[in-house]
């Protein structure tokens, strides 16, 4: 419970930092539009990496709701 409390506090700090952000006009967003700024530049790489971590680690998920499983050993 103590761990979760610390993490929630950490996330609240990040949210507060986010609210301190500056206004970015549309013509100032060229850097944000760059390919290397994507959450996942190669969807198939992300898909395979997530599948392997799902199959080989005790916990998985993040970034979206979890999908179906496999009988991976």
Contact track, other proteins, 33-72, x by CB under 8 A: xxxxxxxxxxxxx-xxx-xxx--xxxx-xxxxxxxxxxx-
> What is the smallest separation between the CB atom of 10 and other proteins, expressed in angstroms?
9
Q: Which long-range contacts (CB under 8 A, 24 or more apart) does 47-50 make?
A: none
Q: Which one of residues 5, 9, 15, 16 is an interface residue with other proteins (CB under 8 A)?
A: 15
Query: Distance between CA 43 and CA 1 in Å, rounded?
Result: 35
Query: Strand, coil or helix: what is 30?
Result: coil
> What is the smallest separation between the CB atom of 5 and other proteins, expressed in angstroms?
12
Could you list the residues that contact other proteins (CB under 8 A)?
3-4, 7-8, 11, 14-15, 17-18, 21-24, 26-45, 47-49, 51-53, 56-59, 61-71, 73
């Amino acid at each position: 419970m103590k761990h979760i409390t610390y993490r929630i506090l950490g996330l609240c700090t990040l949210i507060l930092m986010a609210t301190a952000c500056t206004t970015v006009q549309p013509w100032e967003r060229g850097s944000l539009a760059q390919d290397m700024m994507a959450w996942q530049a190669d969807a198939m790489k992300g898909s395979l990496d997530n599948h392997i971590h799902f199959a080989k680690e005790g916990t998985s998920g993040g970034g979206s709701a979890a999908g179906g499983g496999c009988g991976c050993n």
